């Protein structure tokens, strides 16, 4: 261990109480992004982050306006020739209701046992603070071994509506080798985790129509094709008997899971038994040839999200409905494109829809999947840092959902993101009694200190 690393780690250990006190100040702001009444708190929080960045010697620190809540920016580029990390975070939080279910004031951080309870303690003021504290430990005992840029936004909890434009307008400012996004958690307190892939999305609405109005089933039953049945047949045909998706060409651009990835995924604590326990289904289901954990992150899916047709009120109404509609979304993996899936869905309908009905397919937009190469030096730097702290290598995980900002970084800046974080599955994110496990958080700070040095 170098002297500089040792000094920074020693500083972090000596200042554990100060770091926690500092986080308590941070979470005391009610920076709820969803409603206008918290605008003042949002401003105060953004200013607090900016002041903290300045105190750490960051340059160009600014609270920058967007169409919505401001972005806080700051950078330090005093390590020429070394990598530049763009650290992403958000300072906004979810609403706190129902308030009566909280055991303590959500904006007055309260320590109970090893957990600090407050809104934002885990998602993600605690994670932003961990990054700031790691930087503090390094700059108070020497200089940063890498270049850093901070982008801390205030609209993540409402879907980052202003961020894509802001990123596009500031692409020069944001130039970096990669983005560190600590808004993803760990799979358990003994399982440091790196999330390297997220799925994309393509969403559709399919309407099947037949007669110009609902028909009497006694008069016309047997002579016209019922749109609800026709839609049901079309939907049923979208998977084959092995639960592969039957849209023509659907798998052509799907990047296969490598043997190495499958080995990593097999180590995740997500078994069929876990799925059964979480969902209450009698048996698991899915694409033949893949495990549940592979199906949920590494393979594309097609889901019917809702169906609407005919009479669904109390009692009976003997009709043939005029139309039937289904909402459909596909989760996509690299290298699928949402527009391609739209074309595949259209071709499927052209080939399979009977002449007895009409159909209309609308696309509601989509996003591409994102993935980071796990052999990139920054992933190795983070993995090694985690192994030094926890004594065990991290789990490598693909997330089944999407994180809009990761897609924005990829499409707008061509930048890969590495997702991590030190929150735990039982942190009650977005719910009453959100908490953060303090010993894990301190380990997280140590991990980040080591990460910066490994990278430099
Ligand atoms: Zn978050």
Segment 72-99, tens digit of pLDDT: 999 999 999 999 999 999 999 999 999 9
Q: Does the pLDDT value for residue 366 go beyond 90?
A: no
Whole-number Å distance, alpha carbon 63 to ligand 1 midpoint, is 20
Q: What gap in Å lies between CA 456 and CA 451, rounded to an integer?
A: 9
φ/ψ of residue 284, rounded to 5: -80, 165
156 alpha carbon – ligand 1 mean position (Å): 7
In this prediction, residue 404 carries a pLDDT of 83
CA 127 to ligand 1 centroid distance, Å: 9
Tell me the per-residue pLDDT of 197-232, one tens digit each, with 9 for 90 and over: 999 999 999 999 999 999 999 999 999 999 999 999
Residue 411 has pLDDT above 90, yes or no: no
Q: DSSP string covering 106-120, please? A: TTS-EEETTEEESTT
- Peptide bond connecting 181 to the previous residue in cis, omega within 30 degrees of 0: no
The tokens for 269 are 């604590």
Ligand 1 center to 360 CA (angstroms): 37
Rounded distance between C-alpha atoms, residue 196 and residue 189, angstroms: 19
**How far is the centre of ligand 1, averaged over its atoms, from the C-alpha of 239 (Å)?**
34
Expressed in angstroms and rounded, the spacing between residue 185 Cα and the centre of ligand 1 is 10
Closest CA to 231 of 177, 288, 307: 307
Asked if residue 96 lies in contact with residue 32, where contact means CB atoms within 8 angstroms, the answer is yes
Percent of the chain, pLDDT > 90?
A: 94
Cα(347) to ligand 1 centroid in Å equals 38
1: pLDDT strictly greater than 80: no
Q: Which of 363, 428, 369 is nearest to 401 (CA)?
A: 369
| Ligand 1 centroid, distance to 255 Cα (angstroms) | 28
Q: What is the CA angle 79-174-414, rounded to 5?
A: 110
Mean pLDDT of 15-35: 97
DSSP code string of 145-184: SSEEEEEEES-GGGT-TTHHHHHHHTTTTT--SEEEE--S
Mean pLDDT of the chain: 96
∠ Cα 191 144 61 (to 5°) = 100
On whether the CB atoms of residues 249 and 342 are closer than 8 A, the answer is no
Spacing, Cα 181 to ligand 1 middle (Å): 10
* Amino acid 365: pLDDT: 81
Burial (Cβ within 10 Å: 0-12, 13-18, ≥19) of residue 59:
exposed
Other Cβ atoms less than 10 A from the Cβ of 14: the count is: 10
pLDDT at residue 41, rounded to an integer: 97
Whole-number pLDDT of residue 401: 87
- Secondary structure (3-state) at 193: strand
3 by Cβ neighbours in 10 Å (0-12 / 13-18 / 19+) ranks as exposed
Q: Left (φ > 0), alpha (ψ -120 to 50) or beta: where does 323 sit?
A: beta
Q: How far is the CA of 100 from the centre of ligand 1 (A)?
A: 23
Q: How far does residue 16's CA lie from ligand 1's centre (Å)?
A: 23
309 vs 368, residue with greater confidence:
309
Query: Tens of pLDDT along 379-406?
Result: 999 999 999 999 999 999 999 988 889 9
> Do you find a cis peptide bond into 98, omega within 30 degrees of 0?
yes
**Which one, of 281, 284, 297, lies nearest residue 399 by Cα?**
297
d(CA 154, CA 104) in angstroms, rounded, equals 25
Q: 431 vs 130, 407, 436, CA distance in Å?
A: 22, 26, 13
Distance 241 CA to ligand 1 centre (A): 39
Sign of CA dihedral 240, 245, 249, 254: negative
The rounded Å distance from CA 183 to ligand 1 centre is 5
How far is it, in rounded angstroms, from Cα 294 to Cα 103? 38
Q: State the distance from the centre of ligand 1 to the C-alpha of 310, rounded, in angstroms.
A: 41
For residue 339, report the distance from its CA to the centre of ligand 1, in Å. Answer: 28
Here the contacts of 31-40 (C-beta below 8 Å, separation 24 or greater) are 31/91, 31/92, 31/93, 31/120, 31/154, 32/92, 32/93, 32/94, 32/95, 32/96, 32/157, 33/69, 33/92, 33/93, 33/154, 33/155, 33/156, 33/157, 33/158, 34/94, 34/95, 34/157, 34/158, 35/95
182 CA distance to ligand 1 centroid (A)?
Answer: 9
**Which residue from 74, 82, 76, 52 is spatially nearest to 453, judged by alpha carbons?**
82
List 67's β-bridge partners, or say none. none
Distance 201 CA to ligand 1 centre (A): 20
Domains and CATH numbers, the chain: 3-198+369-455 (3.40.630.10), 200-254+300-367 (3.30.70.360)
Measured in Å, residue 211 CA sits from the centre of ligand 1 at: 48
Interval between CA 403 and ligand 1 midpoint (Å): 10
Whether the predicted pLDDT of 62 surpasses 80: yes
In the DSSP assignment, the letter for residue 371 is E
Identify the three-state secondary structure at position 215: strand
Residue 125 C-alpha to ligand 1 middle, in angstroms? 8
**Dmax (CA) of the chain:** 89
Tell me the average pLDDT across 413-442. Answer: 96
pLDDT of residue 402: 82
Q: Are residues 412 and 164 in contact, defined by beta-carbon separation less than 8 angstroms?
A: yes
Taking only the tens place, the pLDDT of each residue in 316-328 is: 999 999 999 999 9
- In this structure, what token pair is assigned to residue 253? 């651009």
90 alpha carbon to ligand 1 midpoint, in Å?
7
436 CA to centre of ligand 1 in angstroms: 13
Q: 104 C-alpha vs ligand 1 centroid, how far in Å? A: 21
Mean pLDDT of the region 156-183: 96
| 438 Cα–ligand 1 center, Å | 18
CA of 55 to the centre of ligand 1 (A): 24
C-alpha 250 to ligand 1 mean position (Å): 32
User: Ligand 1 centroid to 46 CA: how many Å?
Assistant: 16
- Cα(124) to centroid(ligand 1), Å: 5
Q: How far is the CA of 130 from the centre of ligand 1 (A)?
A: 14
Spacing, Cα 178 to ligand 1 middle (Å): 19
For every residue of 329-367, DSSP letters joined together read EEEE-TT--HHHHHHHHHHHHHHHS-TTSEEEEEEEEEE
pLDDT in tens, 242-301: 999 999 999 999 999 999 999 999 999 889 998 999 899 999 999 999 999 999 999 999
Average pLDDT over residues 68-73: 98
């Amino acid at each position: 261990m170098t002297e500089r690393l040792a000094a920074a780690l020693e500083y972090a250990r000596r200042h554990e109480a100060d770091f926690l006190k500092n986080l308590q100040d941070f979470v005391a702001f009610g920076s709820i992004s969803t409603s206008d009444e918290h605008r003042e708190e949002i401003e105060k929080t953004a200013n607090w982050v900016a002041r903290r960045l300045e105190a750490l010697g960051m340059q160009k620190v600014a609270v920058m306006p967007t169409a919505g809540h401001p972005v806080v920016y700051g950078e330090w580029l005093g390590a020429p020739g070394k990598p530049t990390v763009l650290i992403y975070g958000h300072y906004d939080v979810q609403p706190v209701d129902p308030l009566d279910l909280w055991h303590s004031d959500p904006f007055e951080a309260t320590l109970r046992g090893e957990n600090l309870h407050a809104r934002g303690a885990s998602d993600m003021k605690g994670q932003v603070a961990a990054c700031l504290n790691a930087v503090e430990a390094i700059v108070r005992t020497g200089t940063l071994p890498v270049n850093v840029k901070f982008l801390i936004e205030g609209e993540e909890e409402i879907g980052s509506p202003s961020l894509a434009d802001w990123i596009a307008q500031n692409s020069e400012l944001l130039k970096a080798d990669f983005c560190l996004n600590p808004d993803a958690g760990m799979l358990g307190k003994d399982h440091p985790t790196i999330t390297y892939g997220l799925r994309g999305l393509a969403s559709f609405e399919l309407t099947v129509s037949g007669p110009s109005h609902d028909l009497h089933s006694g008069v016309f039953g047997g002579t016209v094709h019922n749109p609800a049945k026709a839609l049901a047949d079309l939907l049923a045909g979208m998977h084959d008997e092995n639960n592969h998706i039957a849209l023509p060409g659907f798998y052509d651009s799907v990047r296969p899971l490598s043997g190495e990835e499958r080995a990593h995924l097999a180590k995740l604590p997500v078994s069929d038994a876990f799925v059964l326990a979480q969902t209450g289904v009698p048996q698991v289901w899915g694409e033949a040839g893949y495990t549940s954990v592979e199906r949920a992150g590494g393979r594309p899916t097609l889901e019917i999200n809702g169906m609407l047709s005919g009479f669904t009120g109390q009692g009976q109404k003997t009709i043939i409905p005029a139309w039937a509609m289904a909402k459909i979304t596909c989760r996509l993996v690299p290298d699928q494109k949402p527009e391609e899936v739209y074309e595949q869905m259209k071709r499927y309908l052209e080939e399979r829809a009977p002449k007895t009905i009409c159909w209309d397919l609308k696309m509601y937009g989509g996003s591409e999947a994102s993935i980071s190469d796990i052999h990139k030096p920054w992933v190795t730097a983070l993995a090694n840092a985690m192994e030094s702290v926890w004594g065990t290598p991290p789990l490598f995980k693909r997330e089944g959902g999407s994180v809009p900002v990761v897609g924005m970084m990829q499409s707008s800046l061509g930048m890969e993101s590495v997702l991590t974080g030190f929150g735990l599955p039982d942190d009650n994110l977005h719910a009453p009694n959100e908490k953060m496990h303090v010993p894990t958080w301190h380990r997280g700070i140590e991990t980040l200190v080591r990460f910066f040095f490994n990278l430099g």
